[in-house]
Homo-oligomer: A and B are copies of this chain.
Amino acid sequence: VPSHPPPLEFDPIDRAGQLWEANWPGEDGRVYASMRAVTSIMRAQQILIAELDALLRPYGVTFSRYEALVLLSYSREGSLPLSKVGERLQVHATSVTNVIDRLEAAGLVRREPNPRDGRGTLAVITAEGRDVVAKATAELNSARFGLDALDTPDLARIFELLRRLRVEAGDFAAE
């Protein structure tokens, strides 16, 4: 959590958007709307990751490591091939190696050879890992994931709007 300067008396993103529109008019405010949406998403991500990481710090994990731990804890056997972890969390193979390295060093996960594929490795959640997931999740829940400003239908709207972006980016096949 960064040090908090006094808040501005205006919305800097909205003001920037206005300058944009003044200099790049046309298309019924498309540029204005685009710039506001893009910078809002960037800023929202920053706010959320800072808050969630701060909440998770006492448990020794970052949000991305926590995500991996949750995925394992919800898997049928408490284990998944590293390739599956990367697929589900949509992160690069080298990032998976790094995330599992850190979780393993913290004793929350261990590696095992995949009995069904000699090339592969399984990440297996440990008892301590399950304990951390439970406590960390309770913490995030009580902080309402940093989303207290929005009600549940609003959260669903955000998901739906951003889902279209993800589909277009090729994250998954739209049904």
Instruction: Name A residues whose Cβ lies closer than 8 Å to a Cβ of B.
Output: 2, 4-5, 7-16, 19-20, 23-24, 27-31, 33-45, 47-49, 51-52, 63, 67, 70-71, 74, 87-90, 92, 137, 141, 144-150, 152, 154-159, 161-173
Contact = CB atoms under 8 A, between A and B. Distances in A.
Most buried by B among A4, A9, A43, A71: A43
A115 B166 CA distance: 48
Given A34-B147, A167-B149, A172-B7, A162 B40 contact: yes
B152 A165 contact: no
Contact of A173 (B5, B8, B49, B150): B8
A161 B157 CA distance: 9
A116 B42 CA distance: 33
Contacts of A166: 11, 13, 40, 43-44, 47
